Structure 1
């Protein structure tokens, strides 16, 4: 099995390399920068230089590929570019006889367009993929545990023993580990019965803020308390990474959650049914925190 991975330099798709290698796959990883070659090679992939906006190059690198693990880049200056980039990959896959595309959507898809370019474009991508004639599986993860490693959270844990996140304490979330999502992607590639399927996945624990802090504390063996971060504070920390407009947009979303009487679902209570089709050993929040203790506790 020859698998081509997009987004492998980032935390959301990097573990696809290792999970695919466990299955004996030959893994290729697309990157737009030669600076990533060493990281990808050390992980066991063959790096290939390509930009998603270069349709001819995408057509070239998908020759001889059996399956594609795809993800739209997270921070596009123009989110609507994500549709054309996706079309380039899907069209190339169809032209070259790629047997399956597994798309990690970086979040649960909305039921309809909501006026957010980042979310709305994914619905267009989904429709294009469904109508392409290529076999596909869509993997929709909830919120990554790795988000806690971000600059808006990790320093608070390290310096103040507070787990900072801009969601209300009362909002439950089924946090999921990046490695688990990658394992779902790979299992979906290898399951020949899945040809036009979508799965909303989450972790196995539906944790409110204080519960999250309790499980995190167990993992790092230190008392950490939940700190419901103010959206504007979160946005200010985020600005250097995603720009002022991007930070304002994200902060506005979290501001709406602070005032909500009903929270959007971030947990799938039927994960056991999905695990029957895609057998993945799930990571608990406490186990993840334990595994990454040295990142947070100096």
Structure 2
């Protein structure tokens, strides 16, 4: 099987390469820069330049492909471009008779538009994909454990023994490892019974802030306490990476959470049913921290 992977240079999709290789697949990975070619080759993929705004290029790189592991770029100067990018890929997949498209949505989708462009356009993408005639699976992951590697969190662990995150301490989250999401994506590609399916996925632990810190401490081998990071502090740290406007938008979401009396669900109580169809060994927070301990130390 030939699988085309979008977003393979980022943490959310990179592990799709290895998981697909385990199944014996030939993996073609898109990138916007030849600078990433060596990294992709070393992972076992065949790199190819892929500009999602280029309709003819999308048609060209999807020729001879059996399945697509798809993701919309996370940080776009204009979030509304994400809809056209997705349409270009979906249309190219239809043109070339792709058997299946599996979309990692980078988060649980809202039930209706909420006025946040990055979330709202995903609902438009979902409608377009459903009506495309393609076989598809949509994987909606909850919050990634890899978020804790961000500049707003990791330095606090090393320097202050604090796990800094802007979610309220009282809000439970089913943190999920990106490698597990990648494995779920690949299982969805290979499951021939899945043709028009959507899965909201999470880790198997539903942890409040202090519980997360305890699990983190077990993996890290030192006591780490939870620090409910003020959204403005989070925004200031994030801004150099994604811009002032983007950071302000993300921070406003976390500010709304800290002012809320009820919290949005970030845990799937029925993951056992999901794993019956997508058999993946899920990673606990403790296991993930042990695997990445050196990163947080250095």
Distance 1:13 1:28 in 2: 12
Report the equivalent of 1:116. 116
Report the equivalent of 1:186. 186
- 2:190 is the counterpart of 1:153: no
Distance 2:65 2:247 in 1: 37
SS at match of 2:41: helix
After superposition, the CA RMSD in angstroms is 0.4
Q: Extract structure 1 runs of 4+ deviating beyond 6 A.
A: none
How much has 1:54 moved relative to structure 2?
Answer: 0.3
How much has 1:50 moved relative to structure 2?
Answer: 1.6
Distance 2:131 2:12 in 1: 26
Contact 1:220 1:297 in 2 (8 A): no
Report the equivalent of 1:59. 59
Report the equivalent of 1:164. 164
Deviations 1:263-295 (A, max 9, x none): 000000000000000000000000000000000
Distance 1:84 1:54 in 2: 10
How much has 1:122 moved relative to structure 2?
Answer: 0.1
Report the equivalent of 1:283. 283
Report the equivalent of 1:80. 80
Distance 2:256 2:110 in 1: 16
How much has 1:145 moved relative to structure 2?
Answer: 0.1
Deviations 1:67-96 (A, max 9, x none): 000000000000010000000000000000
Distance 2:275 2:125 in 1: 26
TM-score by length of 2: 1.00
How much has 1:55 moved relative to structure 2?
Answer: 0.5
- 2:274 is the counterpart of 1:271: no
Distance 1:185 1:32 in 2: 22
Aligned length: 298
SS at match of 1:262: coil
Q: How does 1:92-241 map to 2 (within 5 A)?
A: 92-241=92-241
TM-score by length of 1: 1.00
- 2:21 is the counterpart of 1:28: no
Contact 1:202 1:271 in 2 (8 A): yes
Distance 1:119 1:233 in 2: 23
How much has 1:179 moved relative to structure 2?
Answer: 0.2
Specify every segment of 5 or more residues in structure 2 that has no aligned partner in the other structure, as ranges. Answer: none
Specify every segment of 5 or more residues in structure 1 that has no aligned partner in the other structure, as ranges. Answer: none
How much has 1:184 moved relative to structure 2?
Answer: 0.3
How much has 1:297 moved relative to structure 2?
Answer: 1.9
Contact 1:16 1:182 in 2 (8 A): yes
